[in-house]
Amino acid sequence: MLHELPTLSHLLKVLQQVPYLASKNLYRVAAHFLEMEPQQIAQFCATLESAKKKLKKCDVCFYWQEVGATCVFCSSAQRDQTIVCVVETWQEILAIETTRGYVGMYHVLGGSVSPLEGIGPEDLTIDSLIARAENGVVKELILATNQTPEGEATATYIARKLKGKSIAISCLARGLPVGSSLEGMDRLTVFKALSERRPF
The binding site for its own copies (CB under 8 A) comprises 1-2, 4-8, 10-11, 14, 18-21, 25, 27-34, 36, 38, 41-45, 47-55, 64-66, 72-73, 89-91, 93-94, 97
Q: Are 138 and 129 in contact (CB under 8 A)?
A: no
Which of 36, 194 has the CB closer to its own copies? Answer: 36
Quickly count: other Cβ atoms within 10 Å of residue 148's Cβ.
12
Quickly count: other Cβ atoms within 10 Å of residue 107's Cβ.
28
User: Cβ of residue 194: shortest distance to its own copies, in angstroms?
Assistant: 29
Q: Which residues contact 80 (CB under 8 A, 6 or more apart)?
A: 103, 104, 105
Which of 101, 136 has the CB closer to its own copies? Answer: 101
Which of 32, 174 has the CB closer to its own copies? Answer: 32
Q: Which runs of consecutive H residues, i.e. helices, occur in the chain?
A: 6-16, 23-35, 38-54, 90-98, 126-133, 149-161, 187-195
User: Cβ of residue 162: shortest distance to its own copies, in angstroms?
Assistant: 27
Which of 90, 171 has the CB closer to its own copies? Answer: 90
